[in-house]
Structure 1
Amino acid sequence: MDKINHWGKELELLQKILNKTELTETIKWGTTVYTHNGKNIVGFVGFKNYFTLWFYNGVFLTDPYKVLISAQEKTKALRQWRFNLMEEIDEKQILEYVKEAIKNSEEGKEIKAKKFQSVSVPELLQDELNLDENLKSAFEKLIPGKQKEYSLFIDEAKQEKTKMSRIEKIKPMILQGIGLYDKYKKD
């Protein structure tokens, strides 16, 4: 079943409501998103069991009607307002939330993505790199994120024996210039 078409009339109503605002409608990540001064404010989409509005920095909304939820534990800023029926859509309430979201955006309220934090190369791995110039050169050519993956992989092991076996496992990968998790990433 097509998730979007399953909620066609409901999503159309949300779109009509959001089009009454000063927001700019655009498509991002294959779905409708509304922006203000280049900042993502709100979007909507249908899922199998519900349809939802989500506020990109919804964590800052006062949520007077207690309708917003965090979809996942790790979600920091985004908040969802889930609906199961057309009758649950309250235009006045939605416009209140959108107005507050715009105001928050204009005030600069947002959670910024954390900057990349490097980690130090574990001593055992550094010793191996110092013993093999080719390995060291290959490691240094890796982007910082891939270097970090390898360093954490070694550091996470508790026993030195495990750390050494992991080092032996990753050496060929480093020499090939590939990251620890590249095989799981889509092209």
Structure 2
Amino acid sequence: MSGPEARERIETFFAATNWRKELEALRAILLDCGLSEDFKWRSPCYTVNDGNVATLWGFKEDFALSFFKGVLLTDRNKMLVAPGDNSRSVRMARFVSLKEVVEREDALRSFILEAMENEKAGLKVDLGDGELDYPAELTAAFEADPKLQRAFEALTPGRRRGYLLTFLQARKPETRTARIEKHASRILEGKGLHDRP
């Protein structure tokens, strides 16, 4: 999203966060490095040549600068962390104070400039196969509804992985079945777990 609507949402984001001055300091660094500002995924997103480079997040306990292809960045001091156990590409720098942002500004600028160059060069993250095994309940659902299987297999790899992780996290077969049934209509619409309705 760009234009006046994006501007309004960006300003609303900064006004609503508990980390306003801290995130605005990160924003200033990103913009000073030459990135364009947009609004995607409920957060300010920073791009170069229309390619996603970084985004800002305000959490309850901390705030973060997240790099979409963070695994490609040179991180000798291990400043970047994966946002979750199943994150294969994104890496983020997490903070709890403005002082930390100021102290790490040189390193952040280095990450941002490297991420911009990677994006301009068209570098991609090699995610390997990364496919998870289908739970038996999903295979059964596919046998009962081949249209569901075709729709699932037509999803992007990331959307398939998101659903598979959700299904596989359930310990009980009946919970896995319930989750599959709950999300079947979204799968048939070609939508991922976090896509807007």
Equivalent residue number for residue 173 of structure 1: none
Q: CA deviation at 1:19?
A: 1.1
Give 1:82's match in structure 2, choosing from 94, 102, 121. Answer: 94
Return closer, same or farther for 1:64/1:115 CA change in 2, 3 Å cut-off: closer
**Contact 2:53/2:68 (<8 A) preserved:** yes
Matched, 1:54 2:66: yes
Q: State how far apart, in whole Å, the 2-side matches of 1:106 and 1:8 are.
A: 30
Matched, 1:92 2:131: no
**Contact 2:148/2:184 (<8 A) preserved:** no
Q: Percent identity?
A: 28
Matched, 1:144 2:150: yes
Give 1:111's match in structure 2, choosing from 104, 125, 131. Answer: 125
Unpaired stretches in structure 2, ≥5 consecutive residues: 1-12, 135-139, 155-159, 169-173, 187-192
Return closer, same or farther for 1:141/1:45 CA change in 2, 3 Å cut-off: closer
Q: State how far apart, in whole Å, the 1-side matches of 2:73 and 2:30 are.
A: 17
4-13 or 50-59, larger mean C-alpha shift: 4-13
Q: State how far apart, in whole Å, the 2-side matches of 1:147 and 1:74 are.
A: 20
Q: CA deviation at 1:180?
A: 3.2
TM-score, with structure 1 as normaliser? 0.63
- One-letter identity of the residue aligned with 2:150: P
Equivalent residue number for residue 41 of structure 1: 53
**Contact 1:41/1:57 (<8 A) preserved:** yes
In our comparison, the structure showing a higher alpha carbon Rg is 1
Secondary structure of 1:41's counterpart equals strand
Q: CA deviation at 1:48?
A: 0.5
Q: State how far apart, in whole Å, the 2-side matches of 1:146 and 1:51 are.
A: 34
- One-letter identity of the residue aligned with 1:104: N
Equivalent residue number for residue 15 of structure 1: 27
- One-letter identity of the residue aligned with 1:37: N
Unpaired stretches in structure 1, ≥5 consecutive residues: 120-124, 130-134, 157-165, 171-178
Q: State how far apart, in whole Å, the 2-side matches of 1:58 and 1:29 are.
A: 18
**Contact 2:45/2:52 (<8 A) preserved:** yes
| CA RMSD across the alignment | 3.9
Q: State how far apart, in whole Å, the 1-side matches of 2:147 and 2:71 are.
A: 39
Deviations 1:34-85 (A, max 9, x none): 0111111011111001010000000010113321001111100000100011
101-110 or 59-68, larger mean C-alpha shift: 101-110
